Structure 1
Amino acid sequence: MKCCRQDGLILKPSKPLTMIDLAISDWAIHKSIIQGELYSTKTIINNQIFSFIFASSMKRNYSLIPSMIGSSPNGIIWSYDNPYEIFYFNEKNSLFISNKICNSTSFCLWYSSPIWIFNDSLSTQYSFMGEINKWTFISQQRFSSLTFNSQNTQMTILVQGVNNESAEILVYHSKFQSIIHLICHLSNNYLQAQLTINSTHVICSLKQN
């Protein structure tokens, strides 16, 4: 069930998983001897990009920045097995990929989301981190819309699913200096929910179809 909704609909990124250019060039330099399985992909919702990085069977270490994985924006990054430990991911703060950890007997998977700033007195920062218990943490099959209000004081995300399904969602919010864990419950009469993030709270409410 980590790969799909309760009705079996597969939750998937917007693009196929592809090898990172740096790994391809290293392949050529080392006479077609692959230096590891190093891939990336992304989900795009309303022009907002959420990135995935996968590594396994690494023969050497790598350091990646967002520009190395296409049009990935600056933001935060975390490992699939520890989403409550986040790091900045930008041109000055790289992701270190260790061949001792991401080796032939294990794999590594990271997720990255943009950081946005509200137009409030504290310049509150926040990041939508998606579903905690799915391989595709953010997918168009689960989150059909992501919008900002005109004053840039609120983000609204439309969550969809099936009867009696729950979506466990994480949001980073600087006001609370922590990661917020919410559960959006769906019912037969309400197969959509609305996740609202603003400078003072994060809530999930049912939305009439």
Structure 2
Amino acid sequence: MRSYLKIAKSTLLCPLILVSPVQASAVTLNIIDQHQQPVSNAVIEILNSAEIKGSPTNIAVIDQINKAFVPEQIIIQQGQAVDFPNSDNIRHHVYSFSEAKTFELKLYADKPEKEIVFEQPGVVVVGCNIHDSMIGYIYVAEHQFFTSSDLGVAHIAASAESSPQISIWHPYAANGAESRQTFEVNQLEKNATGEYIVEIELTPPPPRDSFEDTFGAIGHH
């Protein structure tokens, strides 16, 4: 059976997600942290679904408002571009040195000269080289089917017998903001309501003014 996802309500921006109608065999994931609390905004990707073909033509946007990236995290597809407009009345210097994408947009106001294309899948942590309180996250999906959790709940519209293999990412993961965990759904335990339980370990969000200390820097200008 071909696996596909129902998109849960989320504060994440998901600009291009391929989905199909939900079937009766939908699997529900209950994503909790080490304190048994529901986890929102975890990104779930089905690793044994089809890979993305071609490059998406629509451009995702991360704005800069009141010295913050808005939204703080987005999901895009491999090969998709992201625009980083600056809506503040001060200049910003956006950069990342993540393995999935290293780039730099030197001090600018309004709009940068060009968008940034994210050719490789993975997680990209974005900062401002002037304002260390600015931290953003871009999840670059390799496969066609992905979603995010809403109050700990996410739906995979596929039978557990089809052995969906998933990865789960959250920016506050204890083993690092760029790390992901993988699971075989049919090997997970169920709760009393039949939801598959996925427990991930989280750490508190990075303190503000800490991008350089937490993720490193490329040198102030």
TM-score tier (shorter)? 0.3 to 0.5
Kindly indicate which of the two structures has a greater share of residues assigned to strand. 1
TM value normalised by structure 2: 0.34
TM score, norm. by length of structure 1:
0.35
